[in-house]
Structure formats: structure tokens, C-alpha cells
Structure 1
Amino acid sequence: MRQVGAYEAKIHLAELLDQVARGETIIITKKGKPVAKMVPIEQDPWTLDHIIRRLHRLRSEVQPGFPSLREMIEEGRRF
């Protein structure tokens, strides 16, 4: 993962976009602190389809017998 300063990113944006399109991840820093991450769009795991698949998997892995979300909310309201 490559790091570049904000000024360098501004000057070389087209080149950085080409590198990201080839699969590289680039961190943009400001005064030495990371402030942004450029990643290829295909590598972004937080697409809607990905989130839905993870929720379905989580739902299938939940063990029956635990209190439901509604039961936990109602329990919290008693205090």
C-alpha cells in the first residue's frame, strides 16, 4: 500500500487513478496523517449485495433459544 501526500496526489491525480485502476491501494496523507484511501471499486467489500449476503449468513448462524431483538429491547425498557 503506497502513501502519498495531499499535494502530490493533487498534482499526480491522473497517474494515481491509473495505478488504482490496476489494483493498487493508495493512502493519501495530510501533514503525515492518513486522511483518505483510494481503492479499486471492485475491491470495495461494502457493496449492497455483499452486505445482504453477510446479513443472510449471520441470520443462518444465529442459534435458536437466545432472546430475540424485541425481547432484548423490552428487557432494557424495564430498567
Structure 2
Amino acid sequence: MGEAVVNVYEAKTNLSKLLDRVERGEEIVLGRNGRPVARLSAYRTRRAPRVPGQLAGKIEMAPDFADTPEWLIEAFEAGE
């Protein structure tokens, strides 16, 4: 699927309309002389990296949490 290339003049003339399209999830390719030069896409905020152990000591697991029922083990072993 080829993307339509919007030339610089059209982009300057219709910037508000292009931004509306981007807000709806579309990506717009900007070009010069029919050649793609840039991509206009929605801004996504960066999430902070996850820090392991943040919930340590704050939650508890049930004592039988990791116990797998025998019937389930048998079903896996039987290929069901």
C-alpha cells in the first residue's frame, strides 16, 4: 500500500486539516518534488522506564498461587 505524499505548499496551506487527520490516527508523508522527506505523525508521550521491585512488600500472593491442579497437568501432558 503506497502512501500519498503531500507537497510542502499543500502542507502549509492545509496544516490544520492535516493535523486533524493525524489526530485521527493517520500518518502523513511530506515531500518535495514528489519525494518523501518527512513523516507527520501523532505525538506519543514517553513512559518512564519500569523499575523492578516497586511493589515489593506491598502485595501478597495466596499460598497456593503457584500450585497447578493435577487435572491441568494431565491435560497438557495428554496434548488436549
TM-score, normalised relative to structure 2:
0.50
Larger C-alpha radius of gyration, 1 or 2? 2
User: Which residue matches 1:32?
Assistant: 34
Aligned match of 2:76:
none
- Count of paired positions: 49
> Per-residue displacement from partner, 1:24-78 (whole Å, max 9, x unpaired)?
0000000111111100113x8xx464xx57xxxxxxxxxxxxxxxxxxxxxxxxx
Q: Extract unaligned runs of 5+ from structure 2.
A: 51-80
User: After TM superposition, which residue ranges in structure 1, 4 or more long, deviate above 2 angstroms?
Assistant: none
User: After superposition, where does 1:1-79 map in structure 2 within 5 Å?
Assistant: 1-42=3-44, 47=46, 49=48, 52=49
Distance 1:19 1:48, change over 3 A: same
Give SS of 2:39's match: strand
Aligned residues of 2:5 and 2:35 also touching (Cα < 8 A): no
In 2, Cα distance between equivalents of 1:41 and 1:2: 20
The answer for unaligned runs of 5 or more in structure 1 is 54-79
Deviation of the 1:2 alpha carbon: 3.5
**Percent identical across equivalent pairs?**
40
Greater share of residues in helix: 1
